[in-house]
């Protein structure tokens, strides 16, 4: 581990319209919603791509996803919290005002494993405020249980990063998998893709290294004429 939210902030730019301020508002929205949850004393964990940077390479994100411990009264309060944040940042979160608004999901724990996810969340300063981020194992577990197309790439990236305990993830899936063991099948596929990716990267590295060690190899800069030679009579 050791990622930084600063790497995410550097990517929060609309490449099609650099003057669009909406992507850059994600940290402010993140701070707002976490401040409200902390004020209410609600246990929570950030589970979306915002949390992935703690374990793997940063990518552009436009969504904040949080799981919280919400009972009947807490659920009503959380809905009010989410509405208040959306109202404050309506110019950047309302789909009627923005083609690609920043999305916010605040949901209750769906099972006992997600309750454990909250207990094992990792405290880190994130976007300038104390935050609780889901562990690598729980993030991978969530992605192996999801049918979202981009979650398979997230799962492979987590595995390739080498920071996740795969045996722990397998245990979590065995606790929660359906009769067809879909999550475990997705985990195996993600492991395969991660291994192929690492093997391909290593092969490219070794090919480049062999080229550099080739005694007959002549660097490109030696092909170029030396200006001093041209200046000689």
37 contact partners, CB below 8 Å, separation of at least 6? 44, 66, 68, 78, 81
pLDDT for 17-50, tens place per residue? 999 999 999 999 999 999 999 998 889 999 999 9
Please state, rounded to an integer, the average pLDDT across all residues of the chain: 86
Band (227; pLDDT cuts 50, 70, 90): low
Which of 109, 134, 159 is where one domain is finished? 134
- Give the per-residue pLDDT at 1: 56
Q: What's the mean pLDDT in 134-141?
A: 96
Domain final residue pick, 106, 134, 162: 134
Residue 224 lies in a domain: no
In a domain, 117, yes or no: yes
For residue 228, tell me if it sits in a domain: no
Q: Verify that 111 and 164 share a domain, yes or no.
A: no
Q: What is the structure's pLDDT at 49?
A: 93
The pLDDT of residue 2 is 64
Phi then psi for residue 25, to 5 deg, are -85, -10
Distances (CA, A) of 206 to 17, 25, 199, 202, 210: 40, 42, 10, 6, 6
Q: What is the pLDDT of residue 217?
A: 63
User: For residue 57, what pLDDT is reported?
Assistant: 86
Domain count, the chain: 2
User: What pTM was computed for the model?
Assistant: 0.80
Please give the pLDDT value at position 139.
96
State whether 96 and 210 are in the same domain: no
| pLDDT at res. 34 | 96
What is the C-alpha to C-alpha distance for residues 114 and 156, in angstroms, rounded to an integer? 21
Half-sphere exposure of 20 (CA within 13 A, CB side): 17
Q: What is the DSSP letter of 98?
A: -
Q: In this structure, is residue 230 part of a structural domain?
A: no
Please indicate, yes or no, if residue 141 is contained in any of the structural domains.
yes
**What is the extent of the structural domain holding 65?**
1-134
- Which tokens is 116 given? 């454990």
In this structure, the answer to whether residues 77 and 126 fall within a common structural domain is yes
**What's the average model confidence in pLDDT over 122-143?**
96
Say if residue 4 is in the same domain as residue 97: yes
Which of 104, 134, 164 is the endpoint of a domain? 134
Q: What pLDDT does residue 4 have? A: 87
Task: Give the model confidence (pLDDT) of 142-182 as tens digits.
Answer: 999 998 888 998 999 899 888 899 999 999 999 998 877 99
Q: Indicate whether 107 and 73 sit together in one domain.
A: yes
Asked if the structure places residue 63 within a domain, the reply is: yes
Q: Are residues 165 and 115 part of one domain?
A: no
Residues 28 and 117 both lie in one domain = yes
Note the pLDDT tens digit of each residue in 65-122. 999 988 755 567 788 889 999 999 999 999 999 989 999 999 988 889 999 999 999 9
In this structure, the answer to whether residues 98 and 170 fall within a common structural domain is no
128 shares its domain with 141: no
Q: For 119, what's the count of Cα atoms within 13 Å in the CB-facing half-sphere?
A: 5
Let me know whether 4 and 109 are in one domain.
yes
Predicted confidence (pLDDT) at residue 15 exceeds the cutoff of 80: yes
Which of 2-6, 23-27, 210-214 has maximum average pLDDT? 23-27
Token code pair at residue 181: 């063991």
Are 43 and 150 part of one and the same domain?
Answer: no
The answer to the question of residue 150 being in a domain is yes
Same domain, 109 and 210: no
Q: Quick one: pLDDT at residue 194?
A: 83
| Residue 219 resides in a domain | no
């Amino acid at each position: 581990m050791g990622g930084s939210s600063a790497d995410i902030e550097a990517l929060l730019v609309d490449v099609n319209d650099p003057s669009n301020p909406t992507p850059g508002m994600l940290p402010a929205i993140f701070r707002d919603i976490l401040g409200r949850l902390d004020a209410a004393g609600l246990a929570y964990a950030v589970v979306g791509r915002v949390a992935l940077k703690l374990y793997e390479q940063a990518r552009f994100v436009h969504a904040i996803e949080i799981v919280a411990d919400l009972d009947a009264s807490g659920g009503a309060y959380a809905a009010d919290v989410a509405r208040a944040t959306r109202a404050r940042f309506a110019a950047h979160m309302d789909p009627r005002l923005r083609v690609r608004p920043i999305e916010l999901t605040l949901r209750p724990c769906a099972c006992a494993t997600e309750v454990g996810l909250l207990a094992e969340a990792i405290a880190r300063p994130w976007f300038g405020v104390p935050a609780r981020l889901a562990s690598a194992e729980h993030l991978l577990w969530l992605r192996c249980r999801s049918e979202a197309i981009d979650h398979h790439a997230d799962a492979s990236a987590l595995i390739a990063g080498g920071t996740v305990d795969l045996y722990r993830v397998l245990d979590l899936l065995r606790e929660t998998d359906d009769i067809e063991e879909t999550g475990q099948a997705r985990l195996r596929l993600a492991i395969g893709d991660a291994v192929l990716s690492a093997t391909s990267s290593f092969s490219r590295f070794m090919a480049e290294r062999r080229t550099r060690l080739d005694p007959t190899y002549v660097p490109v800069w030696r092909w170029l004429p030396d200006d001093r030679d041209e200046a000689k009579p």
